[in-house]
Amino acid sequence: MLLPIFEDIPLADLNTLRLPARAERYAEIHSPEQLIKLIERGDLATQRVFILGGGSNIVLKGDLNAFVLHMRIPGHMLATELDDAWIVRAGAGENWHEFVRWTLDQGWGGLENLSLIPGTVGAAPIQNIGAYGVELADRFFALEAVDLRSGRIISFDKDACQFAYRDSLFKQQGAAGRFVITAVSFRLPKDWQPVTSYADVASYLEQNGIDAPTPRDISDAVIAIRSRKLPDPAKLPNAGSFFKNPVVTQAQFDALVRDWPQLANNPQPDGTVKLSAGWLIERAGWKGRNLGPVGMYEKQALVLVNHGDGKGEDVLRLAAEVTAAVEGMFGVRLEQEPVLV
Ligand SMILES: Cc1cc2nc3c(=O)[nH]c(=O)nc-3n(C[C@H](O)[C@H](O)[C@H](O)COP(=O)(O)OP(=O)(O)OC[C@H]3O[C@@H](n4cnc5c(N)ncnc54)[C@H](O)[C@@H]3O)c2cc1C
């Protein structure tokens, strides 16, 4: 079947910040074969390509002079059962949270701490999504991607993906935008152990009298905590955490903590110290403060929200103000988490 290609398509409903922008060309991709056909026909050769998932981690600056490929590849399955793990596989277009809940319905733990993260399975490896003590990399097995240069399907194992904190090969120059992820598989250990290191998760379990939590209990805890703390993009448009938590050296931390004894921090195994971007933004006076139609969320300073008709330029202006305020006060430079498009 011929793949329908559309022109001048509005993207406001396809990004969770609800930023207005139009795509010059647009197609929904339902299988790797459709994508390969587009490459073979030369449809992607003359124009910049932008790969769109759920639009929950992007900032659209304005109209996109690009061919937007909207990833809708469906399906999830048990790929293999090993002695010590289940290997599960899902299409890039699957909704991440629904996939997590499906694994829990089968009785397979491992992804529960990553419940309720918006977006698609295919985008999850891009920034190595993480929450409540677990990162995608901890459960990752392999992925398949179409190389837009060669039109070939390539498999990537964990090492090849170069996962790091909110980072992977797929964000690096040369690879970003080149590989279209079509399917991802995960290794869910049979010897499942709960991860309850986050205080919020531990206190939810305690308050609910749960001593020996199941994967589903942890998922329910994470859903309850996230629903309380984070704005629902359907009601208040946002892209989740707008800045990464900055990582500083021990010496930088020692100097900062002399002036700011309350400085929220998380020592890392490599000797560096991760600071809380939300804490820094709040102390710099930006929690609950607006700049035009956009602002930093009143309940969580790390989340940038669009109160109505904010545009990409409004978001960038606010991000620059917040970055300057934090740098002026602490000498720490914040780095934006969502991809600027
Ligand atoms: C309320 C809220 C809470 C959030 N909480 C968290 C959290 O706790 N932890 C966390 O890590 N993130 C969080 N996020 C960010 C976001 O949900 C994740 O980054 C998610 O993985 C993005 O998925 P997406 O499908 O929406 O990607 P998009 O926003 O559509 O795309 C993001 C990037 O991935 C690329 N991309 C998308 N699909 C593919 C593909 N198939 N192949 C290649 N490239 C692709 C895009 O080109 C773009 O560069 C949150 C966002 C919101 C709105």
Q: Parse the chain into domains and list their residue ranges.
A: 6-71, 76-189, 238-340
Give the pLDDT score at 193.
97
Q: What number of other Cβ atoms are within 10 A of residue 176's Cβ? A: 14
266's CB contacts (< 8 A; 6+ apart) are 245, 273, 274, 275, 276
Give the pLDDT score at 266.
87
User: Which of 57, 111, 134, 201, when mutated, tests ligand 1's pocket best, judged by the most ligand atoms within 8 Å of its CB?
Assistant: 57
Residue 18 known to be catalytic: no
Separation between Cα atoms, residue 76 and residue 122, nearest integer Å: 12
Distance 261 CA to ligand 1 centre (A): 34
Characterize the bridge pairing of strands 290-291 and 294-296. Answer: antiparallel
Q: What CATH architecture applies to the domain 6-71?
A: 2-Layer Sandwich (3.30)
Contact 78, 106 (CB under 8 A): yes
Token pair of 336 as six digits: 């934006």
Is CATH 3.20.20.100 the right assignment for the domain spanning 76-189? Answer: no
The reply to whether 6-71 and 238-340 are identical in fold is: no
pLDDT in tens, 218-255: 999 999 999 999 999 999 999 999 999 999 999 999 99
Separation between Cα atoms, residue 70 and residue 50, nearest integer Å: 9
| Closest CA relative to residue 320, chosen from 245, 265, 243 | 243
Low-confidence ranges of the chain (pLDDT < 50): none
Distance 283 CA to ligand 1 centre (A): 28
CATH of domain 238-340: 3.90.78.10
Give the pLDDT score at 264.
85
- What letter would DSSP give residue 108? -
Give the pLDDT score at 46.
86
